Amino acid sequence: MTTRDTDALPRSIRGLQQRFRTLHADALPAAGAYRAVFVGPAALRAAAPRAIALGGMPRWYGKRFADDGSAVNLLADADGTLREVLPMRVALEPSWLDDRPAIVVSYGSNGPVPWRWVRDEFRPVDDGTLLGLTFVAAPASRIAASPFTLVRDA
């Protein structure tokens, strides 16, 4: 799925959450770098990069998954070089949205603020695209779970 293909996803948060419910996760993502593509309402697409920057990750590019159940965030330096920051744990766990398996990315209780309270959940849309929902603090945050996609680099 390309950036243009992500345009086919619903625009509302509710619609994206409903789409997430139709998807299935039965394995961790293929190792490699994935570029973030923000989806959903225009206001959310505009605000998300700013919120991530305020959380300490300016110029957030996406994530790099490894085969060992770990991942790191990628920041794009001014020259375009990708820099790895903020390691994460990756596992298949029940989703906070619907209790079905999801690829869960978390920073753990020792992660920096605010990331220790953030949990990303993903399900594959196709071979190269993951639809994600970001939860903050607890399962009760599912009402406002913020959607985005990760598109695997070629």
Q: Label residue 4 by pLDDT band (50, 70, 90).
A: very low
Contacts 24+ apart (CB under 8 A), 46-49: 48/146, 48/148
Task: Determine whether 145 is exposed, middle or buried from the number of CB atoms within 10 Å of its CB (0-12, 13-18, 19+).
Answer: buried
For the chain, which residues make up each domain, given as ranges? 3-151
CATH code of the region 3-151: 2.40.128
Q: Are 101 and 26 in contact (CB under 8 A)?
A: yes
**DSSP element (H, E) containing 127:** none
pLDDT for 7-27, tens place per residue? Answer: 678 777 788 899 999 999 999
Residue 44, pLDDT above cutoff 80? no
Position with higher pLDDT, 75 vs 3: 75
Cis peptide before 58 (omega within 30 of 0): no
Give the predicted TM-score (pTM) of the model.
0.87
pLDDT for 97-146, tens place per residue? Answer: 999 999 999 988 888 888 888 899 999 999 899 999 988 876 656 655 78
What local confidence, expressed as pLDDT, does residue 141 receive?
60
Query: What's the whole-number mean pLDDT along residues 15-43?
Result: 91
